[in-house]
Chain A
């Protein structure tokens, strides 16, 4: 298992911030139901003891869904009409707080930690899946980069069949909220930047969390490659300390 610890407050803060930042780019069902439900799951886990591990999920049957990007996935505005859905499964355990009645500070990733992105092209009134990838956190035994992206791999058919678990491409974002930001930046190349620039209050909540996390990730990666003759192999093998992202 990953064993990675994450801070509850940070996870909740980034969810609140992304809801505000991204509201214009998400289907109403997503902002009104799916994200609040996911947030509520995290809050419940934070406040209530659980016996064993817990699955934080955004179900594939009821995913986060963006609005359709009308050509805006290309800066020229001439790309295909496309939208994305994002689902997620994280197997986590709550780390009990020092005092029982206090909310828990951290959770630990103890199993699967996968966020799936599916891109649908809209043409002639129908939507067809044209791309899919999974952003994942590896475990202590997994080969490949610890924080990685895998293309497809859901079915047995090529390309990227289930039987082939490579490549595991390195990734810098791994929480569902961060993955959502990444996807919006891809689907709405210019208008996403514009929207972020308008929402300063939400940005002030979003960017410190993302920056701190990315700085730690990059610092860890930099340290990992320092003395190895093959920096790339070093990065591939490196396993972070479980407390990489917590104080």
Chain B
């Protein structure tokens, strides 16, 4: 069946009138086919062809549910309803949809009281593709929610119907196409090795889930973390420049930097979902080329960045900068020197992603963060008070 050109997005909300106006604009512009339904009004034909289902988290106004007595017929919230809808999708022949939560207060679902609500962790924990906040933020670096929803819908639309699991070469081709891996580039082989290192679920799981497992892998394990793709912060770190200056330079009218980096920009499915990202292998190739094989020579790198990329890029001061996360485990814009930071191991951080760091001071002040510090760095936290050493 030929995928429809305009992806369908179904929104289930007990207050249908509250649906985001930007989504309605996309519908009016025929970029999305938007169906808005109250929980009592969702029927099978609404799900047919849907690519994204956005389910309200708090469902208070649901008369049909409230009239029933058996608890098994009373999904209390959007998480439960999402599970019900997913079970119905499983019966449809026409493929499946990404199911995402839409919550006014995502922090209620935060998995760690100190870390706040990380969308990818909430989605991963609750069998969802994503978790959105009803009021999406604005500002530089923040991707608009309707952009994300559209990206998600297009991604579902792009998922292949066939996964040639018995043909390694064909499987690689399918995956490379989905990720838009530039196969003719000199760093393509390294990029593919990096992808494989991150264990894409393409052999067993993707085929049995209509490809949704692959989408989830990207959403939950790859895009939010420094794996085979780098965010602007990690790109800045690689170039040893401040993230702020990189963003400024990229958005300026001087196209030299953008042109240089264009070759390495990720353009596969879900590109832009969490902002622009770049292939790690491509960035490493760039560094190698810029420094003519001396990537550890800081002065050479700084000179090359200034002369060949952009003079507007501001070099970082730290001799050994590391990318840190803040107390909410969000990647922070400010680098710290390795001597003033410690490595942590949060529960849900993929083992194949670059390890996160926190400022030493923060780990010393914040006991919860301190408990995540890796063994090798633990002794760098403040020593225990006298009399508290164990036997």
The reply to whether the CB of B128 lies closer than 8 angstroms to some CB of chain A is no
A193 in complex: contacting residue of B296, B322, B338, CB < 8 Å: B296
Decide if B293 touches A204 in the complex (CB within 8 Å): no
Nearest CB on A from B327, distance (A): 21
Q: Chain A binding site: helix, strand, loop or mixed by DSSP?
A: helix
Nearest CB on B from A123, distance (A): 28
Residue of B nearest to A208 (CB): B338
The answer to whether residues A193 and B376 also contact, given A101-B391, A200-B354, A201-B355 and a CB cut-off of 8 A, is no
Nearest CB on A from B69, distance (A): 55
Nearest CB on A from B219, distance (A): 23
| A54 to B295 CA separation, bound complex (whole angstroms) | 41
Q: Chain B binding site: helix, strand, loop or mixed by DSSP?
A: loop
Interface residues in B362-389 by Cβ distance below 8 A to A read 376, 379, 389
The reply to whether the CB of A47 lies closer than 8 angstroms to some CB of chain B is no
What are 16 pairs between A and B in contact, CB < 8 Å?
A: A9-B376, A9-B379, A99-B391, A101-B391, A190-B293, A193-B295, A194-B284, A196-B296, A197-B284, A197-B287, A197-B296, A198-B284, A200-B354, A204-B338, A204-B343, A207-B320
Interface size on B, residues (CB 8 A): 17
The reply to whether the CB of A13 lies closer than 8 angstroms to some CB of chain B is yes
The reply to whether the CB of B114 lies closer than 8 angstroms to some CB of chain A is no
Residues of B within 8 A of A (CB): 284, 287-288, 293-296, 320, 322, 338, 343, 354-355, 376, 379, 389, 391
The answer to whether residues A13 and B288 also contact, given A193-B296, A201-B354, A204-B322 and a CB cut-off of 8 A, is no
Interface residues in A197-237 by Cβ distance below 8 A to B read 197-198, 200-201, 204-205, 207-208
Interface residues on A, range: 10 to 19
Nearest CB on B from A206, distance (A): 11
User: Chain B contacts of A190 at CB under 8 A?
Assistant: 293
Decide if B391 touches A194 in the complex (CB within 8 Å): no
| A57 to B154 CA separation, bound complex (whole angstroms) | 58
Residue of B nearest to A16 (CB): B376
User: Chain B contacts of A207 at CB under 8 A?
Assistant: 320
| A194 to B354 CA separation, bound complex (whole angstroms) | 17
User: Chain B contacts of A194 at CB under 8 A?
Assistant: 284, 288, 293, 295
CB-defined interface of A63-106 with B at 8 Å, one 1/0 digit per residue? 00000000000000000000000000000000000010100000
| A198 to B227 CA separation, bound complex (whole angstroms) | 11
Interface residues in A19-60 by Cβ distance below 8 A to B read none
User: Chain A contacts of B294 at CB under 8 A?
Assistant: 193
| A145 to B343 CA separation, bound complex (whole angstroms) | 38
The answer to whether residues A197 and B288 also contact, given A99-B391, A101-B391, A204-B343 and a CB cut-off of 8 A, is yes
The answer to whether residues A13 and B376 also contact, given A190-B293, A197-B296, A200-B354 and a CB cut-off of 8 A, is yes
| A13 to B322 CA separation, bound complex (whole angstroms) | 19
Nearest CB on B from A215, distance (A): 13
| A178 to B347 CA separation, bound complex (whole angstroms) | 32
User: Chain A contacts of B391 at CB under 8 A?
Assistant: 99, 101
User: Chain B contacts of A201 at CB under 8 A?
Assistant: 343, 354-355
Nearest 5 Cβ contacts at the A-B interface: A197-B295, A201-B355, A201-B354, A13-B376, A101-B391
Residue of B nearest to A189 (CB): B293
Nearest CB on B from A174, distance (A): 22
Decide if A205 touches B287 in the complex (CB within 8 Å): no
User: Chain B contacts of A101 at CB under 8 A?
Assistant: 391
Residue from the set A13, A193, A207 with the largest chain B CB neighbour count within 10 Å? A193
Residue of A nearest to B354 (CB): A201
Residue of B nearest to A209 (CB): B376
